[in-house]
Amino acid sequence: MDIKYVPTICPYCGVGCGMNLVVKDEKVVGVEPWKRHPVNEGKLCPKGNFCYEIIHREDRLTTPLIKENGEFREATWDEAYDLIASKLGAYDPNEIGFFCCARSPNENIYVNQKFARIVVGTHNIDHCARLCHGPTVAGLAASFGSGAMTNSYASFEDADLIFSIGANSLEAHPLVGRKLMRAKMNGAYFIVADPRYTPTAKQADQYIPFKTGTDVALMNAMMNVIISEGLEDKEFIEKRTKNYEELKEVVSKYTPEMAEEITQVPADVIRDIAIKYAKADKAAIVYSLGITEHSHGVDNVMQTANLAMLTGNIGRLGTGVNPLRGQNNVQGACDMGALPTDYPGYRKVADQEVMEDVTCTWGCSDLGCEPGLKIPEMIDAAAKGDLKVLYITGEDPVISDPDTHHVEEALNNLDFFVVQDIFMTDTAEFADVVLPAACWAEQEGTFTNGERRVQLIRKAVDAPGESKYDWEIFCDLAKKMGADPEMFTYESAQDIFEEVRTVTPQYAGMNRERLDRPEALHWPCPSEDHPGTAMMHIEKFAHPDGLGIFMPLEEQGPMETPDDEYPLILTTTRLLFHYHAAMTRRAATLDREVPTGYVEINTEDAAELGIANKEKVKVKSRRGEIEIAARVTDDIVKGIVNIPMHFRECSANILTNAAAIDPKSGMPEYKACAVAISKMEGS
Ligand code: SF4
């Protein structure tokens, strides 16, 4: 019996663990961790271990589907292409939008955005970074000149102190969590600030519970202490940064006593952690969606950059500002230009010279310099009837976007809606045409993980039925719509990657031979003799003058605050066994572990409301209400409740607030909205 081991990369989180798919009789029958892989070193979390369970499911999409009289019927590819081409050609390009798939390889995403820009003529292109790390891209780009993780995961093991804020790594990024635990075993002091006493917080040397949405005040007060105590890195500030006096003036107001009022963290604790952070020789900041998913997410991100620059904790092993990215290829989707403001390589749509250069490389005509709409803007425009056609690849906004009723209203209001995916998702049910796509195990290409490591994925088995690669579908459609075939003819994913290198300066020095090894390459890698860049900003920042910019920031707080009617703050989170919903809820082993959702409520709050553990309750916000089981616990700050976001039957996003948006990034405030909880009648 022949068994094949095909090395590839996990399809779930941005950690980017290496794995071998075990193939027998043309089926993937298991997963073996990749022992020589530098990220996971022969380990996987439960999601990675059971990712193969979805590949050969009976409910994979296998043919194009067209909806007629409210029912889907099987269709040929030609029928589907003709219908889509006629619809995309019938509307003003500004009335058409695209959500790209951050789960898909770079090559698919690259062709998707190229198709939208050249063939359809719109920059209305976005992806789920808008809903997770959009503030990281905007915030770190403003502070450092580059919107990505500064160090590598391996760098954590050199830290003397790790300050984790808004990151539950042991559940959401478990193999990074493992590196943090190893750093702790090496002697690093581990501080975790989080409104929830998470599994990660339970491993901390010092846990700092604080009120959700008050990160700016907390870090301003830490900087206030550092400056008052004379612990700032004067040489680093002088040589490597600008705008320090402006920062100093703002943080001077935020005494620990004042911040205590806002954050609920005792002033002496703020003083203590500030001094510990500043005195550590090598201190690393780790953050995730607890920082970004706020209506002031960019401010929170820039605040982590301020703290690191103030203490010279940048450009050395064991230091840095380290956002933990969500989807397996969300970093790549940003790099590939699946953004309404950026072409591949973060070259700005609004810049005329960039546009001329891109049109010259692609051989197309004027693409315009007006940036497109972000995801929340596209949803709003569809709800108002201004966006008429939506083409979604591999996203499931009915589950993952805020205010589900608003999303459903928008989707129902579209004139024409295409979904390209591997399963009939909750979102695909709303579509006019559904196209079957190959999954990660069925194709070649590259994923870029959260530490900017560009890694090869390899084909293990054929895609089921008539499914195609995303890039093939967009190339077929481009030709159907009369595009120059030269622009959309590729032999393989490798062929596409060669083109990606020509328009993405950070990838210019990469080729298949160089990537075909476990350590692969970190971007920026500008030439074929460049070793790649595991650590950024060693001698200068990525701004043209090489300086980092301090950003003075005032505390804003969440947009929707509790009141008599809605007295609690809801935060939403992810679980170890689930990753959004469409894939992990179809993996039988993972679904069995946590089959449905619950609301975590503080013991005192529950007692005041007369709610017992496991009792069914009603949670209500200004957007809607759900029925869900209560989990009464001391692991959450009083006044805050938490619902994992994966479960359609008790969906947290029915409650969340699509109107509370970060003006600097378009990020909706998933981490704070006002809710009320009540016992169910008769319970
Ligand atoms: Fe996959 Fe992330 Fe788990 Fe690694 S940590 S196995 S990349 S889900």
CA 178 to centroid of ligand 1, rounded, Å: 11
Q: Find the range with the poorest average confidence among 233-247, 579-593, 614-628, 636-650.
A: 579-593
Tell me which architecture the domain covering 3-54 has in CATH.
Single Sheet (2.20)
ipTM of this complex prediction, to 2 decimal places: 1.00
Residue bearing the CA closest to ligand 1, atom 3: 45
For residue 286, what pLDDT band results from cuts at 50, 70 and 90?
Answer: very high
Nearest residue to 670 (alpha-carbon basis) of 650, 654, 647: 654
For residue 583 and ligand 1, the question of a CB distance below 6 A is answered with: no
pLDDT at residue 603, rounded to an integer: 97
Atom of ligand 1 nearest to the CA of 328: 7
Q: Which of 31, 39, 47, 589 to mutate to test the pocket of ligand 1 (most atoms within 8 A of CB)?
A: 47
What's the rounded mean pLDDT across residues 330-335? 94
Q: Identify whether the C-beta of residue 303 lies closer than 8 Å to the C-beta of residue 251.
A: no
For residue 225 and ligand 1, the question of a CB distance below 6 A is answered with: no
For residue 576 and ligand 1, the question of a CB distance below 6 A is answered with: no
Q: Which residues contact 307 (CB under 8 A, 6 or more apart)?
A: 163, 219, 222, 223, 277, 285, 313
pLDDT at residue 632, rounded to an integer: 97
pLDDT at residue 461, rounded to an integer: 97
pLDDT at residue 1, rounded to an integer: 65
CA 45 to centroid of ligand 1, rounded, Å: 6
426 CA to centre of own chain: 20
pLDDT at residue 574, rounded to an integer: 87
Q: Identify whether the C-beta of residue 524 lies closer than 8 Å to the C-beta of residue 518.
A: no
For residue 19 and ligand 1, the question of a CB distance below 6 A is answered with: no
pLDDT at residue 683, rounded to an integer: 57
**Rounded CA gap, 96 and 592, in Å?**
40
Of 637 and 307, more confident: 307
Atom of ligand 1 nearest to the CA of 449: 7
For residue 48 and ligand 1, the question of a CB distance below 6 A is answered with: yes
> Edge-to-edge, what's the strand order for the sheet holding 283-287?
206-208, 189-193, 161-165, 283-287, 321-323
For residue 256 and ligand 1, the question of a CB distance below 6 A is answered with: no
Q: Find the range with the poorest average confidence among 69-73, 365-369, 576-580.
A: 576-580
pLDDT at residue 482, rounded to an integer: 94
Can you name the CATH fold of 134-323?
Dimethylsulfoxide Reductase; domain 2 (3.40.228)
Residue bearing the CA closest to ligand 1, atom 6: 48
Of 477 and 559, more confident: 477
For residue 215, what pLDDT band results from cuts at 50, 70 and 90?
Answer: very high
Tell me which architecture the domain covering 568-679 has in CATH.
Beta Barrel (2.40)
CA 39 to centroid of ligand 1, rounded, Å: 10
Per-domain residue ranges of the chain: 3-54, 65-129+329-440+459-487, 134-323, 568-679
Planar angle of CA 404, 406, 411, nearest 5 degrees: 95
For residue 40 and ligand 1, the question of a CB distance below 6 A is answered with: yes
- Domain 65-129+329-440+459-487, CATH number (from 3.40.50.740, 2.40.50.140, 3.30.70.890, 3.40.50.11750): 3.40.50.740
- Helices 404-413 and 375-384, axial angle in degrees (round to 10): 60
pLDDT at residue 178, rounded to an integer: 94
Instruction: Report the residue count for the chain.
Output: 683
Q: Which of 9, 52, 173 to mutate to test the pocket of ligand 1 (most atoms within 8 A of CB)?
A: 173
Atom of ligand 1 nearest to the CA of 49: 6
